[in-house]
Structure 1
Amino acid sequence: MHPFEFNRHRRLRRSAGIRAMVREHHVSVDDMLYPIFVVEGENVKHEIPSMPGVYHFSLDMLKKEMDEVVELGLKSVILFGIPGHKDEHSSQAYAHNGIVQRAIRQIKEQYPHIVVVTDVCLCQYNPAGHCGIVDEHECVLNDPSLELIARTALSHAFAGADIVAPSDMMDGRIAAIRHILDENDFHDIPIMSYAVKYASAYYGPFREAAHSAPAFGDRKTYQMDPANGREALREAASDFAEGADMLMVKPGLAYLDIIRQLRDRYDVPIVAYNVSAEYAMVKAAAQNGWVDERSIVMETMVSFKRAGADIIMTYFAKDVARYLKEGY
């Protein structure tokens, strides 16, 4: 016997059964929001080089992907569209027969129980690659952009989207979207706001996937400085006051502290976006045999839940669903 007293914390780690019994946080397929990239054309299923296992799908190839989503038990997807042509007014973002609008209708017709979320932004749809209207001085204009962003959200609602998710970071866009949705009797369509979106280096592979890299400059005048935490709380407070039903933090893994702070302050669902470079780095390391992909992915998902996220938007969603089916 030791001549001193101490706590035996290991008692609750002694067996797999005990560890499962006292586990504080659990990952479920219900937590997963799976991103899908839809493109114009036919017979298109092209793997994105910097994101192994993630593809561009034309609508005729989308059904097979959705069949797999349903079979794995995933309940929700978020759509990103890559149009056939771009113009300075981003007209394909809000066109009745735009690529996202057609994808919404197809999915809701074939899989009515699937929750369809749509990314609402202009960057994929204009040659400048910016999230708002650009003037002759290459400045991104806030207020004139609000009308087009709101029109885009409305077009998605008319097409049958269950949730709209504005990602542009223009000031006032939640109020503009809530106003136009309510004015058109879409009172019940929730807004999942990209409330806290940093000007992050973690978006590189996504810009390849969405064909949305800026043609000039950067997005630092509207996306947030990674050094700022208090600013995140101000952004979230504005979106919440304007009518956001869910608050997202992007990127997720590098900003778990922000997720935690939002969880402590807001009694609405918090979304973590496990972004493209967070995905690509794990995939690359696993392909080189440097890490155990399954263990790293699931540990990452648990970290989002522990930080306070209710929903995890991740390119790993199908992998997570498989791991859970296998009894991870």
Structure 2
Amino acid sequence: MQFKNSLLLLTALTAGSAVARAHGHERRHQHQARAVGDVVTAVIDGKVATWVNTYGGPTQAPAAPAATAAPAVQNDVVADASVTPLPTSTAVTTTTTSATTTSTAFPTGFGGQTQPTGTGDTFCGNQGIPYGSNIIQITEDDVSTYDYTITLDGSAVTEDYQVVFWNKCDSNDQLTGWYATTFPLTVTVSAGSTSYIAVDTNSQGGFVALPASQDIPRNSLGSILGFWGEFDFADSNNANWSGFDVSAIQAQNAGQTDFPGLKMEANGVVSSITTNLGAVDNAYTADEAAIGGIGGNLPSGPVALTATLGFSG
């Protein structure tokens, strides 16, 4: 996606995936094992970023609703190939609270909006108050009343799928939302059915869609694996542009590509990867991790995304 400067950092911070490329494609996919306290330096979309690693590896116990600060993500690092499934939450929304998360849901169904922090590749937009209330499930009748929506199309799947959504940043403004063990939203999409999601403005995040019978796969650092769907809606750090893409970067870095396909489409733009990484169209693989502009890059205005689950072409 060509999102002006820092679209969806999701990939820029973990490796380089969609929404943030020319818009700031977050490299959230490229991780390398670093010791706690190490100074990590990486080039993110042409700019040098340096930080102190605070991540010592995932815990095995299920996370409490209010997860502690997740790992400081390392950029441009290859993830370990081993996969360690961790328990996931089936709750639709988390119950994370803090001194600033006392708002009740607005009439729209969203919670309050958090103040953005950071700039460029460290930008964290709206994560909802309480945390995660910026991503909600809605009915088909309500789709037209929201500016930013994702339709989950289950016409291509033959069993129940679970779709887990995360914010790019965790509740502590760390770029580690994809390490979550509880999620802002988890939706079950039955074979042949359709579900509808609304996302609040200035929100950046992602999702994976997998058979509900499976645990969410993760690499040895705790990062979610699969073919990610990434989104960035009305980014205040990028003149309110929006963007989206499908990314296999994190999966490839972990040596795991046997995942269901995913297609995202909006405003005539398609980004897709077929099952088992069979075919790639305007989407991210490890080879494109350093390239900006892949996926959809949309100027200010409403966006109605459709995500086809289990896409095989």
State the TM-score bracket (shorter-chain normalisation): 0.3 to 0.5
More strand by share: 2
Name the structure where helix makes up a greater proportion of residues: 1
Higher relative contact order (CA 8 A, sep 6+): 2
TM-score, structure 1 length as denominator?
A: 0.32
**What is the TM-score normalised by the length of structure 2?**
0.33
